[in-house]
Structure 1
Amino acid sequence: MTIEFIKNEEWFTFLDGEGNKVERKTEIRFDPLTGESSRLVFDPGLVPTPPDYTEAAEQTSGKNCPFCSENILKMTPLFPKEITDEGRIFYGDAIVFPNLFPYSKHNGVVVFSGQHYVRLEEFTTSMIKDAFMAAQKYIEKVIETDNKAKCISINWNYLPYSGGSILHPHLHVIISDSPTNYQANVFEKVNDFKQETGLEYFSELYRKEKETAERWIGEKGSVAWLHAFSPKSHNDFIGIFTKSATLLDITEQNWTDFAEGLKSIFAALSEQGYASFNMSMALSTNETNSDPIHVRLIPRLTIGNLGTSDISYFQALHQEYLSYKAPEKVAKLARRLF
């Protein structure tokens, strides 16, 4: 087993209104780890218009937001004593508390800071680093008290297009007995790759993508960034913690490296007109695991003048991802901004 970048081309031929022949290509790409396919489809010139939430921020901030400074210690719930005597976890300006509507047996919400509406370009290195450090401290507390909860992820819905229901920036930390489909599939395939090759998949992906430089973006310290060969959206950025295989390996400096790289990814999103995204980081606490931690980030947007969702039957029901943008072109753009 080796890392292979496999793609097939399909051509659709038709006539335009004046009888001229038109050929349009669909490129079907296969994920080198899982074998799942995604499709690069004809780009009609997609240029999203980033939404401006200034007015919405004024209406939802302060007394109307449970995450704003004047409310957060009054309106958010408390963890039990075995997690923290203080009821919440604090790191810098970040605060962690329980999710009122949990997705798993352990679900912490991490609020970044007191600033209610933070545009992509306004995120600072310390703001991002503190939030993820706070998330890590919560995870460490949970795994000390619950040895069955081993399926961990840190997740970020940024702005309403992503499914975020509150404008104020925040993360979701999910710690469960059961993996998500993505976690189960990827961890199984990573283990298969290790069994067959003796190598760590994401270490090899890092090495190969850096060597070929087609989808390579860059690295800040211990965290490297590249674009997925078989993308799950119009952009699909992968961050690899090259020196961290488990949560316990991640240091404050690693989070700083991650934050600095993430700001460059934000710049690449902004240049393309994207303002919203989903991000997820799958984590392990298994000390025998040696494959680097990775994170994925995809933009969220609406298409056309009707506010049409970027997710249709292809993604939702066929579980087949679509992209208007070629990964190599996106990587070239992001590399310039890194």
Structure 2
Amino acid sequence: MAIKLRKKTELFTFYDSKGEKIERETEVRFDPLTGETSRLVYDAGLAITPIDYSEAAEKTKGANCPFCPENIFSMTPVFPKEIAEEGRITKGEAIVFPNLFPYSKHNGVTVFSGDHFIRLNEFTPELIKNAFQAAQMYIHRAAITDSHAKFASINWNYLPLSGGSIMHPHLHIIISDTGTNYQTNTYEKARQFEMETGTKYFTSLSETERLIGERWIADNGTITWLHAFAPKSHNDYIGIFNKAYSVEDIREADWDHFSKGLQTIFSILTDQSFSSFNLILSIDPEQREPVHVRLIPRLTIGALETSDINFFQALHQEPLTYKAPEEIAAKSRIRFEELL
């Protein structure tokens, strides 16, 4: 088996104030591609209270939101004509326009629809599909005009806990000459993996996890859904577009399957009381690895509404999770079977 799934357990022994012995396990897992570690830590009962954004949505919509219908065409910028003749790109209700404060030389924003606040269980496959197809169109057009911008991704910060500064649902499309640390590390390691094994990493991962069955969730059309072995958060969903190696390879049927799969994951997050997430859809600049997606929830912890990112994630660059990937995958398989 080319994929190596390594983990080790560390045991911490101490005593309570009455002298009773306590033992706590920390499981260290090694990412099968990068070798980076994640830690599965003791769960005293992670209680998550979903945040009700209804009041915030009322305060920030309409005249206070540049993405709402009454403002979007007057308050958002437009692309040069070689990108979009009409200034913006549209697909269904979705609208793509330039980010006023770009993260890269090409940075589009896709607004899903005119609805200012959409709860997780209200996203329809059509809304998701239109937004991602509009993003796909922007990547395609930018690539035609700029052959140096090879690193492309579609990104989603959903609600404030994820870092989203505007509540109105939207995507960020990043196209750059330079890959992010995640992209650079992932694709460099994938090249090394292919040289050593003769197989594509994400294809091998998909086949291996399907064979093992512990973290494999579902095959939906040409897309495989699974849970990461060494997760970056309390859930870490990976979606692999098995037949798509470039943005042009993603067909309408793929977006149909992806949108329904994402809708199903939203229902699983809702079951766990998660209300916010980060998502990346990453495209290999050399088109050697299939397109893949990762999604992790974002949350606050406890009565103080403590951030889910502390020194471990922020400075040690090491993710922590209270939830065993195999347990989340098992629950997810059931939900995919019910809804797909």
TM range (shorter): over 0.9
After TM superposition, give the deviation of residue 17 of structure 1 in Å. Answer: 2.2
Task: Indicate conservation of the 8 Å contact 1:268/1:337, yes or no.
Answer: yes
Which residues in structure 2 correspond to 1:157-176 (within 5 Å)? 157-176=157-176
1:304 corresponds in structure 2 to 302
Question: For 1:318 and 1:291, how far apart are their aligned partners in 2?
Answer: 28
- TM-score for both structures, normalised by structure 2: 0.97
The aligned counterpart of 1:31 is: 31
How far apart are residue 285 of structure 1 and its match? 5.3
State the SS of the aligned residue for 2:13: strand
The equivalent of 2:289 in structure 1 is: 291
Instruction: Tell me the distance in 1 between the aligned counterparts of 2:234 and 2:329.
Output: 12
- Cα displacement string for residues 103-157 of structure 1 (whole angstroms, at most 9, x for unaligned residues): 0000000000111110000000000000000000001110000010001110000
Correspondence list, 1:187-336, <5 A: 187-284=187-284, 286=286, 289-336=287-334
Note the alpha carbon deviations across 1:272-291, whole angstroms, 9 max, x for none. 110100000111354xx332
Superposed structure 1 runs of 4+ greater than 4 Å apart: none
Q: Contact 1:235/1:298 (CA < 8 Å) preserved in 2?
A: yes
The whole-number CA distance in structure 2 between the counterparts of 1:41 and 1:61 is: 40
The CA distance in 1 between the partners of 2:47 and 2:246, in whole Å, is: 38
Given that 1:247 and 1:285 are in contact with CA atoms closer than 8 Å, whether structure 2 keeps it comes out as no
Other-structure match for 1:46: 46
Q: Which runs of structure 2 are paired with 1:97-136 in the superposition (5 Å)?
A: 97-136=97-136
Tell me how far apart the structure 2 counterparts of residues 240 and 184 of structure 1 sit (CA, whole Å).
18
Q: Distance in 2 between matches of 1:156 and 1:90?
A: 18
Q: Is the 8 A contact 1:248 1:285 kept in 2?
A: no
| Distance in 1 separating the partners of 2:212 and 2:335 | 19
Residue segments in structure 1 that go unaligned for 5+ positions in a row: none
User: 1:177 is matched with which residue?
Assistant: 177
Alignment of 1:85-104 (within 5 A): 85-104=85-104
Residues 243-302 of structure 1: CA distance to partner in whole angstroms, max 9, x if unpaired? Answer: 11111100111111100001111111111110100000111354xx33211110000000
Is the CA contact 1:129–1:255 (under 8 Å) kept in the aligned structure 2? yes
Q: How far apart are residue 47 of structure 1 and its match? A: 2.0
**Aligned residue in 2 for 1:11:** 11
Identity %: 61
Match of 2:155, SS? strand
Within 1, Cα distance between the matches of 2:197 and 2:330? 31
Please list the CA deviations of residues 169-191 of structure 1 after superposition, one character each: whole Å capped at 9, or x if unmatched: 00000000000000000000111
**2: distance between equivalents of 1:38 and 1:27?**
8
Q: Distance in 1 between matches of 2:306 and 2:275?
A: 16
Deviation larger for 148-157 or 189-198: 189-198
Deviates more, 1:13-22 or 1:156-165: 13-22
Map Cα deviations across residues 216-241 of structure 1 (whole Å, 9 max, x no partner): 11122111110000000111110010
CA distance in 2, matches of 1:285, 1:70: 38
Q: Which runs of no fewer than 5 residues in structure 2 stay unpaired?
A: none
Q: Give the letter aligned to residue 223 of structure 1.
A: I
C-alpha root-mean-square deviation of aligned residues, in Å?
Answer: 0.9
1:47–1:272 contact (8 Å) kept in structure 2: no
